[in-house]
Amino acid sequence: MGSTFPVSGDDGTDSEMAEDATSYTVALVDADAPSSENRSLAPFLHWLMTGLSPPTADEMISIASSMKDIMDPTIDPLSAASTRSAVSEYIPPNPEDGTGVHRYVFLLFQEPSTGLASSAFNEKDVGDRSDWSATEFARNHNLTLVGANFFTIRAGKERNK
């Protein structure tokens, strides 16, 4: 399971991921809101973050070479840096009892190479979090879906089943 990413391109050059200035938008949605039997509010937007930039290859090498013990809690993990605040406040997954299994989906969008106006995203633009259309949002802001992943959570007391 999992994904494999090439270290270099077919032509022997370094991967384009290493040093580009691409920025990304990430969204987290509940595909089963309010329940797995009744998806009338789905997808429900739990989080929207824009302006994310991955660490450069040099940053990753520097951090990795300074690590003596990868499990040392004092060492900061690699993380993406954001140039903006979250567009929507993060609402952690917490499905209510009796609502079955919920699929929570992370969507990763590449932002346009020309960048986004600082006012391109705001809470008003997100609108109602229920029945949130990632497709429409991406189209309106010229975003390209480049990755997705999901996890499931069984609601409340049903978790031990």
pLDDT number for residue 31 = 95
Can you give the residue ranges of every domain in the chain? 24-53+84-160
pLDDT number for residue 1 = 45
Per-residue pLDDT of the chain (161 residues; tens, 9 = 90+): 454 545 444 444 444 444 567 889 999 999 999 999 999 989 999 999 888 888 777 777 776 676 655 556 555 555 666 666 777 888 899 999 999 999 999 999 999 988 765 555 555 555 678 999 999 989 988 999 999 999 999 887 665 55
pLDDT number for residue 110 = 94
Q: Which two tokens stand for residue 147?
A: 């990755």
Surface-to-core class of residue 51, CB atoms within 10 Å of its CB (0-12 exposed, 13-18 middle, 19+ buried) = buried
Looking at the chain, list the stretches that DSSP marks H as alpha helix, in order from N- to C-terminal side. 57-66, 123-126, 134-140
Query: Are 99 and 34 spatial neighbours (Cβ–Cβ below 8 Å)?
Result: yes
Q: How far apart are CA 42 and CA 104, in angstroms?
A: 11
Mention every residue, 6+ apart, whose C-beta is less than 8 A from residue 161: 154
pLDDT number for residue 155 = 80
Q: Phi then psi for 79, rounded to 5 degrees?
A: -155, 160
pLDDT number for residue 43 = 93
**CATH of span 24-53+84-160:** 3.90.280.10
pLDDT number for residue 121 = 56
Neighbours of 52 (CB within 10 A): 19
